[in-house]
Structure 1
């Protein structure tokens, strides 16, 4: 039986909406890139660069579980172009902040993504 609350928007429209909305909910000085996930039409790849001298970059996979709920997975954390351990408190705090921003973006797009 099909899920009645599944995502019913094209990946291209979803990607464009996230590209427009994510900078509004993030810190103004951070940068983000939104890309379609070629292997999953209900997922996006999000790349976020922190502002300032820390030079952190985070890669997330955002998957729509249904028209409202997303699952956020951390894929990679880099500092100055090199993969680093994500366990230090400073990095964990940034991951939590960006995860919250990703959920805020999905919530702002709810009117577009709801069935």
Structure 2
């Protein structure tokens, strides 16, 4: 489906994600959603974990088409210092958050799939 491009303004998309994503992550965690300045089909998402770990996960969410997103990890910080995200506990958290990002994108399909 070559015509299945994202038909929504990036600012509207950011606003929709800001409203919807908190429903898909743990109540104690918080998230921020920004427009990706270099790519109108992409968003930047930061998820800050609750508790004393103070982990922060930065993701790029790119719309492949109006329904499918590609999620990639940009950085993982602990107390504002980059850490190795390849450890098993980090990979588990990354998988969980990636799943939540995909679930949020699915929840917004009525908006993104015109």
How much has 1:88 moved relative to structure 2?
A: 1.1
1:79-115: CA deviation from partner (whole Å, max 9, x where unpaired): 0110000111111110000000000000000000003
How much has 1:4 moved relative to structure 2?
A: 1.1
**How many pairs were matched up?**
114
What's the counterpart of residue 55 of structure 2?
56
What's the counterpart of residue 11 of structure 1?
10
Superposed structure 1 runs of 4+ greater than 2 Å apart: none
1:45-95: CA deviation from partner (whole Å, max 9, x where unpaired): 000100001110000000000000000010000001100001111111100
TM-score normalised per structure 1: 0.97
Query: What is the 5 A alignment of 1:1-115?
Result: 3-115=2-114
Distance (Å, rounded) in 1 between the aligned partners of 2:20 and 2:59: 16
SS of alignment partner, residue 65 of structure 2? coil
SS of alignment partner, residue 71 of structure 1? strand
How much has 1:3 moved relative to structure 2?
A: 2.4
Q: Which runs of 5+ in 2 are unaligned?
A: none
